Amino acid sequence: MKNKSAKEQREINILKGGNSFYSTLVICLFVFFLSIAALITAFNNLISMHDKNLSGKICTLVTEKMNHSIDSMTQSASSTSHVLSAQGFDSPSQIYEILNEYGKSDYLSIGFLDSDGSMYATDEEKIEFKKWDLKETALRAKPVSMSMPYRSALYGKPVVTVFSQFEYGNEKHGYLFLTYSLGELQKMAATQSLDNDIEIWLMNSESANIIQCAGGDEHAIGSWNNAYLVMQNIDEADRDVYREWIDKTRMGANDIGISYSIGDTLYTQFCSRISSMPGWYVAVRIPSNALSATMSTFRNYVLYFLAVLMLVVVVLITNMYRLSKRENKILTQLSIHDSLTGVLNRRAFDFAAEEKLSHSKGAALIFFDIDYFKQVNDQFGHDAGDRLLVAFSDTLKNNFSDRGIISRFGGDEFVVLTDMSSFGDIAESLVKTTDDVRSINLNDDKHDGPGFMISFSAGAAAYPKDADTLSRLKKCADMALYATKEKGRNGYSWFAPDMADPKANRVIPTEAGTKTAAAPVKSTPVKPAANAVTREQSVKPAVTSVTREKSAKPAVTSVTREKPAAASGAAAQAVSNPSGKKVVKKVVRKVIVKKVVKKKPTPPADQTV
């Protein structure tokens, strides 16, 4: 046995599809994982490079939000003071009653001090004021001031009190106060994705005392500390930078940012002055790895998504490959197309037709048979016969390919399965096909010869009216085709329920003798042209030249039902024999020959010998 070359072996592997596919799949997976590794490395480098810059920007943003939130508190107190001043109240008691009617929204308590220093508030609030010496802060309100944060025994949490001056009576001055929870500052300033990592402080620049407003440790919120004590935890190399930062706050500098390390964690810290609280700063501290952790979570989600996506793609590709391989095997076995005409062959048509009918609401199956095709082969040669088959299939393509499936069923027999909206729609296509077929010229380009008028017989059945399966539909169309041939060919018939099986019209031997069944025919004849070749004209071996005349486009006649015709006596004389079919065929053949011999053709006047 001859050894296969490497090229032939590769071609065999491609046809098998195994080695080539799995090798390609392995290479794709390798490239995918290599790309993922490169993506992770690049992502980590990018995070590390931008951590410090992004931390500073976030600190700046949070500081601005804190200032805005404190400003909103002072503006709220100032707006209320303006309303009281505009009312022109004379009695402090009247003012206190009005204040008690205010619905508490974002503040914990409300009250005021009159011009004499008397306080209009609850007894518990008076104790709080005395404990924290808040009257001194109130007198600094020109027009607004804010206390330092303190832990309220009344509310059990850190609070801050805002004071705003107003006028009443005869140019008397009072001091409105609103007490807010530091938690309100936390709500306004917190960043949802980093709220467990960002620490927000309020810092007194004179004493360097700090109170934590927000952070990951809930127990630390509201606790006091000192910036110098915090400095003891900072790496020694960064302590000078931190000490310089504290000194700048004492000098009243604004928008100060630094970076320092505590152990393995790098922190970025930023502070900004509070305009309504002289000597106070809001400071924000964020660890750089907080950004890394957030982005790492995002990175992991991306990797999980890519992994799942890759798995789904591999499964889909594998299933598509297996399905394609199975379908290719089936299509290869079917040898889809007819080699001469290019239309589907019989087995491929059955496969495609079953699929089309499964999704169709209305269709028609039409059998076509070229009239006297054997005479064409005998008189003009097989090349002319091949040209006729190709031309006939092209005609069917022109009229049915845009909505149907066309197949050469064998020899000169074709079948079309086409969508059908109405019987008239199919009838128009058949009439158009008839005209196109008559214009077929059997002569090749190199030779001129005698003309030959082509016609066809057709039988049609409707789906699902006549049959609901492909096999039954083909049987019905075949009976309609046989009915057309029985009526003289050159036309078409629709299947009717009273049509018998075509085999029933043939002589059938029985034990009692012979009998012939005849079926009623529902047909639509197409009037043959004057120069069409008939059965009687085809007996002589001499070739006659047929002069083509234009024939009027045949009109589709209304379908009428005819009474069944009795079988001829000659055809009924079959010999009973146990062998059955052979005797019937011989008798029928003899009867046909006798009929043809009796009728010798007489050439029409318009033919030229």
- C-alpha 106/C-alpha 90 separation (Å) is 28
pLDDT the model gives residue 55: 65
195 exposure class (CB count in 10 Å sphere: 0-12, 13-18, 19+): middle
Q: Is the peptide bond before 564 cis (omega within 30 degrees of 0)?
A: no
- C-alpha 74/C-alpha 276 separation (Å) is 7
- The answer to whether the CB of 212 falls within 8 A of the CB of 225 is yes
Comparing CA positions, the residue from 167, 177, 77 lying closest to residue 115 is 167
pLDDT the model gives residue 522: 42
Taking the chain, what is the end-to-end CA distance rounded to the nearest angstrom?
62
DSSP labels for 194-261? GTTT-EEEEEETTT-EEEEEE-S-GGGTT-EEEHHHHHTTS-GGGHHHHHHHHHHHHTT--SEEEEEE
pLDDT the model gives residue 392: 94
- The answer to whether the CB of 428 falls within 8 A of the CB of 341 is no
Residue type, 457: S
Residue 415 tokens read as 């079948």
pLDDT the model gives residue 605: 39
Domains, the chain, ordered by start: 38-303 (3.30.450.20), 335-598 (3.30.70.270)
Comparing CA positions, the residue from 551, 553, 504, 529 lying closest to residue 604 is 529
pLDDT the model gives residue 581: 41
Residues of the chain with pLDDT under 50: 1-2, 4, 7-18, 193, 446-447, 504-609
Which residues neighbour 290 within 8 Å (Cβ) at sequence distance 6 or greater?
Answer: 55, 194, 197, 198
pLDDT the model gives residue 363: 94
pLDDT the model gives residue 576: 36
- C-alpha 205/C-alpha 247 separation (Å) is 9
Q: pTM for this one? A: 0.39
- C-alpha 129/C-alpha 270 separation (Å) is 32
